[in-house]
Structure formats: C-alpha cells, structure tokens
Amino acid sequence: MEANGSQTKHRKIALALSLIPGLGQFYNKQLLKGLMFFILTISFAVAFADLINIGLWGIVTLGEKLPRDHSIFLLTQGIIAVLVIAIGLLIYFLNLRDAYLNGRNRDLGIPLNSVREQYRNVSEQGFPYLMLAPGFFLLIFVVIFPILFVILLSFTNYDLYHSPPANLVDWIGIQNYIDIFSMDIWRNTFLDVFSWTIVWTFVATTGQIAIGIFLAVLMNQKDLKFKGIIRTIFILPWAVPAFVSILVFAGMFNETFGAINNDILAAFGVDSIPWLTDPFWTKVALILIQFWLGFPFIFAMVTGVLQSIPNELYEAATVDGASIWQKFRAITLPMILFAIAPILITQYTFNFNNFNVIYLFNGGGPAVSGQTAGSTDILISWIYKLTFTSAQYGKAAAITMILSVIVIAVALWQFRRTKSFQEEDMM
C-alpha cells in the first residue's frame, strides 16, 4: 500500500461534498453515478415538494379551516409524506455512504469500479430488490400503512362528534389512554372485557389442548381398531370452515328452536337453559364450542408427535414396572410439549383474537346496560363494535394498540425460543 489513510483525506472530502448529492461522486471522478444521484435528488424534491409540504402541515395540524380541510385525508397524506421522506433519506444515506466508501478506497489506493463494472454491480445486486419490490409495495400499503394509521389515530379525538367533513379532528396526546384507565365508564368496560378475554383465552385454549392430547393418546393404543375412520371423524371439525360451524351452533343453542334445549336437555328432563340471554351460560356455550372447534388441530399435531416417540422408551418403562399414568407423565407428555410448544402458544394468541366465534355466535351479547361492550365481548370484538356501532375511532385505536402490545410481547417471547429466530443468517 503506497497511500494509506493518514496521508490522503479523500473519504472525508467526498463525504463532506456529497452533502449535496452527487458532488462527492464527482470528486471521486465517477461522473455518471454522480449525475444520477444529482438528478434523482432534484427530481425527488421537485416531484414530492407539494406532497411533503401539505402532508407535513396536515399531519401536524390535522386541518385548520372547515370545510376546506378534511382531517383524515390530511392524516393519510401526512403518513404518505413521512413514508416518502423516509425513502428520500434512504437515498441520501446511500449517496453519503457511496461517496465515503469510494473515498476510502481511494485513500487505500484501491482502484474504483469502471462504469461497466458499476452497471454489472447494479444489475447483480439489484436483482433481490427487484424480486422483493412488488411484495413490499403491497405490504406497505395494506399492512404497514394501516398500522401507522392506527398508531396515529389513537392520539386523536376522532369519534362521532369529531368526524370529517363536518368537524375537524385534533391531536389530544395520550388522552384516549388516560380516559380508558381513568374514566369510570371506560375503565369498568375495559376491565370487564379484558378479564373475560383472559379467562376466555386460558380456559378455551387449555381445554382444547387437553382434549386434543387426551384423544390423540387414546387413539395411539396399538390394539385399537378402525383407527383410520375414527381419526378422520376427529379431524372433521377442523375441516369444516369455522364460520359455518359457529353459525350452526348459534342455531343449535337457540332458545326457541335449537336442538340443545329442545332435544338433548329435554331428553334428560333438564329445564331449558338461557344460552343466549344469560351472560354466564353464553360464556359456557362459547367455551364448549371452542373446545369442539379447536381440539382437532391439537389432535392432528400430537398424533404426529406420538408416532415418532421410539417404542423402546415405553418398553424400558414397562420393564421397570411403570403404570400407564406414570408412562404418560414421564415420557409422553414431556415429548409432546417439547415438540409442539410453539404451536401451543400460537393457539393462545389465536383465541385471544378469536373474533369469529364471539361475534358469530351471539354478537358478543347479551348486552350490558350502560356499556359499549356486550358481556361476552373480547377486546377484538369490542374494538369492532366501537368502530362500527359507536364510531369511537380514537378509543378503538387506543385499545388496538394495547391489544397489539400484548400480542407482540407474547409472540416475541415465543419466537426467541424457536428455530427460525436463531438461524445463522438472522443474527
């Protein structure tokens, strides 16, 4: 190396010059690249100046004058402006990085790439981006954009009385969150819904897991006949689309014509039970239905695990005089739990957000007087009601945020333990 870093200062000069995009590349004598950065920056600024200007103004003020300003349009434009700025900053960063790296190469006396090599580099390195572009584009608009929107919405007073185009929406900071925890009506509803969500998640999920494991172990006995057909029957509730089954159950539990009261309970001489009008019995019915819907999935998974447990383990245990129960506790259960632990956790998060069964069975009802949530509403169905029945968008967004934090916390905790997270190329 004839020129080392301390003698020449190309990297610093190039970096400083490319504060104006392109100049650093000119300095590095990469004219074409510099020109491209320069043109890209200019056209970016010209094309998006208005959007960024209005968007940033809009997202800060959410509109000042009626009927000219529509707060929600402005909020949307604001998010787009922020995304555009983010892309702009990314290009700017790439420009700085490129100037710096090439400057350093010159300091170290490494020859720079020719135009032809640069072209080949771009087409070589650009290919993965080309493959990712359509998917990412879609993801930004239908997944990331809505998430940003909800986050921002949770800090506004957007509701029935502050609803464009007739009214303006304003930023109110964390007032929604404060209200949920401090205003009596909100706090009571929130606590009711939240505690039922937790009870529902734990009882329904644990029950379906227990039933699934029990039946799988039962079906794993070697001397049992008709295994194929019985297994198919056991998987049937999973095969039928859930919305169909739930609606059918809503009919079966119906108090006037449903089969549960009229046929089954009547046959045992039990009085009719108010399945849909009494909160307690609705909860019981929901949990029983979820058992029915949820166990086949666990059953199928556990069946797969059981078939892979080596027989020698059981034979050794039999020689040692272990009972059936001891064999289950010491061999079968640990093997099952080890193999399907991640799936079990997703079952909990799935039921935590199991909108279908709550909403389709009884609409979250029976209603509770003075509350926006019914007595069997879980967080997600309450959010739905706040959005579509009472137009409490701001509050609904705040509750969505609370719900998402819970789900992400659980999921992160889970994924830290799974394979995909520990892959060599992830870290």
Closest approach, Cβ 42 to another protein, in A, equals 24
Q: Using CB atoms within 10 A of its CB, is residue 229 exposed (0-12), middle (13-18) or buried (19+)?
A: exposed
Q: Site residues for another protein, window 72-91 (CB under 8 A)?
A: 72-73, 76
Stretch that binds another protein, among 40-48, 114-122, 313-321, 389-397 (CB under 8 A): 389-397
Contact with another protein (CB under 8 A): which of 35, 45, 122, 138?
Answer: 138
* Interface of this chain with another protein, residues 249 to 288, rule: CB under 8 A: 249-252, 254, 256-257, 259, 263
Pick from 51, 247, 309, 331: which binds another protein (CB under 8 A)? 247
Give me the least distance between CB of 110 and another protein, in Å please.
20
Scan residues 293-352 and list those touching another protein (CB under 8 A): 297, 300-301, 304, 342-343, 346-347, 349-350
Q: Is 397 one of the binding residues for another protein (CB under 8 A)? A: yes
Q: Decide whether 35 or 139 has the Cβ nearer to another protein.
A: 139
* Amino acid at residue number 22: G
First and final C-alpha spacing in the chain: 34
Contact residue for another protein among 2, 7, 111, 125 (CB under 8 A): 125
Q: For another protein, which residue of 146, 173, 310, 334 counts as binding (CB under 8 A)? A: 146
Residues 201-230 that bind another protein (CB under 8 A): 215, 218-219, 221, 223-224, 230
Would you say 400 and 408 are in contact if contact means Cβ atoms under 8 Å apart? no
Q: Which of residues 4-63 bind another protein (CB under 8 A)?
A: none
Q: Of these, 49, 66, 141, 330, which contacts another protein (CB under 8 A)?
A: 141
Closest approach of another protein to the CB of residue 109, in Å: 25
Smallest gap from Cβ 17 to another protein, in A, equals 23
Tokens, residue 72: 């929600």
Q: Which of residues 363-382 bind another protein (CB under 8 A)?
A: 363, 380
Q: Is 93 in the site for another protein (CB under 8 A)?
A: no
Q: Site for another protein (CB under 8 A): how many residues?
A: 94
Which CB atom, from 65 or from 419, has the smaller least distance to another protein? 419
Single out the residue of 112, 235, 317, 335 in contact with another protein (rule: CB under 8 A): 235
Q: Tell me, letter by letter, the H, E, C secondary structure of the chain.
A: CCCCCCCCCHHHHHHHHCCCCCHHHHHCCCHHHHHHHHHHHHHHHHHHHHHHHHHHHHHHHCCCCCCCCCHHHHHHHHHHHHHHHHHHHHHHHHHHHHHHHHHHHHHCCCCCCCHHHHHHHHHHHHHHHHHHHHHHHHHHHHHHHHHHHHHHHCCECCECCECCCCCCCCECCCHHHHHHHHCHHHHHHHHHHHHHHHHHHHHHHHHHHHHHHHHHHHHCCCCCCCHHHHHHHHHHHHHCCHHHHHHHHHHHCCCCCCHHHHHHHHHCCCCCCCCCCCHHHHHHHHHHHHHHHHHHHHHHHHHHHHHCCCHHHHHHHHHCCCCHHHHHHHHHHHHHHHHHHHHHHHHHHHHHCCHHHHHHHHCCCCCCCCCCCCCCCCHHHHHHHHHHCCCCHHHHHHHHHHHHHHHHHHHHHHHCCCHHHHCCCCC
Residues in 149-188 at the binding interface with another protein, rule: CB under 8 A: 149-150, 153
Residue 122 binds another protein, judged by CB under 8 A:
no
Give min distance, CB of 376 to another protein, in A: 16
Minimum CB distance to another protein smaller for 41 or for 353: 353
Report if residue 119 touches another protein, rule: CB under 8 A: no
Task: Using CB under 8 A, pick the residue from 190, 234, 275, 382 that binds another protein.
Answer: 234
Task: Determine which residue in the list 237, 364, 365, 374 makes contact with another protein, applying CB under 8 A.
Answer: 237
Neighbours of 10 (CB within 10 A): 21
Nearer to another protein, 125 or 311 (CB): 125
In the complex with another protein, the residue whose CB is nearer, 43 or 232, is: 232
Binding residue for another protein (CB under 8 A) from 359, 377, 378, 382?
359
